[in-house]
Structure 1
Amino acid sequence: MSRHLTLSIVSSVPYSNLNRDDIGTPKRATIGGSLRALHSSQSIKRGIRVAYENASLDYSVRSGSGFLSEDVVAKALEIQPDADEKALTKEAKKIIGSLTKKDKNEKESDSERSSWLSEEELTTAAYTALGRTDETFIEDGRTGSLAIAAFGRMFANAPSKNTEAALSVSPGVTTHPAIIETDYFSTVDDIKERNCESGATYLGVAQYTNGIFYRTVSIDREQLKKSWAGFGQEDSKENLRQLITAILYGMPRGKENSTAPYVQPALVLAEEQQYRTAYDFETPVKNGAEGGYLGATIDELAQQYAAARRFDPDNFGPVESLTGTYTNLDGKFGDLKAVSRKEFVENIVEWICQ
């Protein structure tokens, strides 16, 4: 039985700018000689984490060390309101600073190295700052936060505390050439309009794109069991269900309120694998006879699915599952038949827990 399971996700993302560069243009890459729209893996991981934590209430905090120190102080004062805030602040900075490495010319108060801690770890740090426990507030290589265990973290000044990521996340890339559209917009001035005057408060341009995006998430269940301290606890399966659901729904969040672009995935294919592999669309798919790239993308993916098994059938384990909103999935991927989202998630959770 293999330790890896890869999810291939195909989504039709409408007119949007979910992930943009420093000048506001949708991220893109040239692949196979054609321009493709791109969602970075970092933006996808952020979307998954936010979706998971909002659903599960298993929160974590990622911030600069100075702000995390303030969080520790605030929690300590909740525990013991009459504590000396000045002394707590000094102790909290020392605790958080032990994780981060400063430049040799950097003052302690200037250290803003990013760290990522679970709520439980922050609370333990607060008790430590109060002198109520000498317990190490971060386990070596482990965390109670499923999000941190999934995506990993690094502490420059405390490498033994690093948490190895159990999930590998690819960028999302369109399977076909993409076009960056420019939209001219204006902000109506209500008072000018009321006075029958012309002119807007603001004039500007924004850029958008759309397309069929392919992305993958690979789960290393053995690493997850090592990295996540919550594995096997009473609510661990429910947290895993929320994480897998967040992988299906979690997307980058740029300009989300002005475009509302989120749709359910057209296809999600899960494959147990000895060696983690994905599929590729180096040759851009062509639109179908009736227009659109979705059908052609799924057909191409089905061909690559069959080719991968002709090349190395031993790479694939017995666990497979298929879901999605596309209407003609049955029979395209071997003998697989599409199941509901709930059943698909349950299949993945049971595989992780074996």
Structure 2
Amino acid sequence: MFLDIHALHTLPYSNVNRDGLGSPKSCIYGGVQRIRVSSQSWKRAARLQVESQIGSPTLRTRQIAATVAKQLVEQENWGTDDARRAGRAIVQAYGLTPEDADDITKVLLWLPYTVLDELATLAIEHRDLIRTLSLPELDEKGKSKRLSKDEKDKRDEAARAAVALLKEPVTRILNERNATIALLGRMLADTPDHTVDGATEVAHAFTVHEAAPDFDYFTAVDDLAPNSGAGHLATAEFATGTFYRYSTINVTQFDEQLADHETARQVIAAWVRTFLTVVPSGKKNSTAANTAPDLVYIAVRNSPLSLAAGFEKPISTSGFGYLDRAVDVLNDYTTRLHRFLGDDGLWSGYAGTIDTKLPALGDPHESLDKLVQHSCDAVFGTLPVEASS
């Protein structure tokens, strides 16, 4: 069973998600340029808030070895060398190779914060073993000694053999997941059992109309300069637009992963509301683009269904804005799509700032909170009881 989330969300002059050159991200759709906000950007903004709300933070890092070492030094009064040996041993036991100079790994690990305490406890339990381990050799300049690939491979293999006793507990700890990891999923090719198949899919948001970045020329005044000239000149890019946003949650999968009906419901409710109301933080101090969606449509279905194709033809305007027309297009396309498929889902409802009746979108709700509550009632009132056992 899937919970489909659709929204029409207008952003004012802003740049909430930049590309490598600092421009608003964009795409070509329907033969014209649209402004785009990546799924990763909106997911991260929502995830951080949800984790704060449910009290279950995570960290995504390449510095797990250094982080564990720092905790051992600061909280357990370990010496820096032994603490570093411990951090490197944990990474090596997991099958990864820390860099000689700074102990970072080539891949990002995404973990619940609680694993840091577990890893530190594990290191304390195996301190005698850890003390026997070697650290990377340094040359006369204090830098890591250069080794051939063959020498490095042999050294790394010997290191992994030395920490073989730690492999099972380290793997168990680093493969732990919390609710947001189960919800969004994680992938690590080097360690497949670290991978979690996420229950949520999030589409890139795009404007329902043609849109292009606008250049803003700005200056900064040097208050101590003897004249009134600018101390800094530059340009920045911004854009405006009404975006179609879509996400879907495989509620059955998520419920089974958590094995806790009530927690699954709470997390999904928190995620849906936060995902809809949060805005990515790019250029937030200079644009304050803190808007909410004007229309939210939620549907419970046996299979997910995006409505993005309804906006393949860009909406045009004659000075009356895009939102009202986008609302009509969404309702009309949903009507035609449901008729074509012969499937209008198991339940649906909508809420927003608009007064228009939208029969294709199900029951109207006076607030977002009530819409989210009723959508969760629809889902968890029909999930089989055994899904949470």
**Partners in 1 of 2:27 and 2:112 — Cα distance?**
35
**Amino acid aligned to 2:124:** L
* 1:33 pairs with one of 31, 34, 49: 31
**Partners in 2 of 1:184 and 1:100 — Cα distance?**
50
Deviation sequence 1:197-240 (CA, Å, 0-9, x none): 221110000111110000111101122134446x346x654443
User: Do residues 338 (structure 1) and 365 (structure 2) align?
Assistant: yes
Aligned to 2:229: 199
- Residue 17 of structure 1: how far off its partner (Å): 0.7
Please say which of residues 246-255 and 80-89 is displaced more in the overlay. 80-89
User: Do residues 95 (structure 1) and 90 (structure 2) align?
Assistant: yes
Aligned to 2:9: 11
**Partners in 2 of 1:152 and 1:260 — Cα distance?**
30
User: Do residues 348 (structure 1) and 346 (structure 2) align?
Assistant: no
**Partners in 2 of 1:243 and 1:97 — Cα distance?**
35
Does the CA contact (< 8 Å) of 1:174 and 1:212 recur in 2?
yes
What secondary structure sits across from 2:363 in the alignment? coil
Does the CA contact (< 8 Å) of 2:36 and 2:205 recur in 1?
yes
User: Do residues 73 (structure 1) and 69 (structure 2) align?
Assistant: yes
User: Do residues 220 (structure 1) and 250 (structure 2) align?
Assistant: yes
Residues 202 and 227 of structure 1: is their aligned pair in 2 closer, same or farther, counting only changes over 3 Å?
farther
What secondary structure sits across from 1:272 in the alignment? strand
- Taking every aligned residue pair, what percent have the same amino acid on both sides? 27
Aligned to 2:300: 272
Aligned to 1:111: 105
- Residue 351 of structure 1: how far off its partner (Å): 4.5
- Residue 352 of structure 1: how far off its partner (Å): 5.0
**Partners in 2 of 1:25 and 1:334 — Cα distance?**
35
* 2:123 pairs with one of 122, 129, 143: 129
Residues 129 and 7 of structure 1: is their aligned pair in 2 closer, same or farther, counting only changes over 3 Å?
same
Deviation sequence 1:11-37 (CA, Å, 0-9, x none): 011110111111111111111111100
**Partners in 2 of 1:5 and 1:181 — Cα distance?**
36
Does the CA contact (< 8 Å) of 2:350 and 2:361 recur in 1?
no
Does the CA contact (< 8 Å) of 1:183 and 1:206 recur in 2?
yes
Aligned to 1:313: 342
**Partners in 2 of 1:301 and 1:347 — Cα distance?**
21
Q: Give structure 1 stretches of 5+ with no counterpart.
A: none
What secondary structure sits across from 2:364 in the alignment? coil
Give the alignment's TM-score, normalised by structure 2.
0.78
Residues 300 and 112 of structure 1: is their aligned pair in 2 closer, same or farther, counting only changes over 3 Å?
same
Does the CA contact (< 8 Å) of 1:142 and 1:228 recur in 2?
no
**Partners in 2 of 1:110 and 1:119 — Cα distance?**
18
Aligned length: 339
**Amino acid aligned to 1:56:** I
- Residue 99 of structure 1: how far off its partner (Å): 4.4
User: Do residues 55 (structure 1) and 50 (structure 2) align?
Assistant: no
Give the alignment's TM-score, normalised by structure 1.
0.86
Residues 142 and 167 of structure 1: is their aligned pair in 2 closer, same or farther, counting only changes over 3 Å?
farther
Does the CA contact (< 8 Å) of 1:174 and 1:213 recur in 2?
yes
**Partners in 1 of 2:256 and 2:80 — Cα distance?**
37
Q: Give structure 2 stretches of 5+ with no counterpart.
A: 128-165, 384-389
**Partners in 2 of 1:68 and 1:160 — Cα distance?**
18
Please say which of residues 50-59 and 34-43 is displaced more in the overlay. 50-59
Does the CA contact (< 8 Å) of 2:302 and 2:346 recur in 1?
no
- Residue 318 of structure 1: how far off its partner (Å): 2.1
- Residue 136 of structure 1: how far off its partner (Å): 3.8
Does the CA contact (< 8 Å) of 1:143 and 1:227 recur in 2?
no
Aligned to 2:149: none
Aligned to 1:153: 186
Deviation sequence 1:254-305 (CA, Å, 0-9, x none): 1111100121111111112222220121100122x65100011110000111
- The structure that has the greater radius of gyration is 2
What secondary structure sits across from 2:236 in the alignment? strand
Does the CA contact (< 8 Å) of 1:88 and 1:130 recur in 2?
no
Residues 174 and 5 of structure 1: is their aligned pair in 2 closer, same or farther, counting only changes over 3 Å?
same
**Amino acid aligned to 2:347:** V
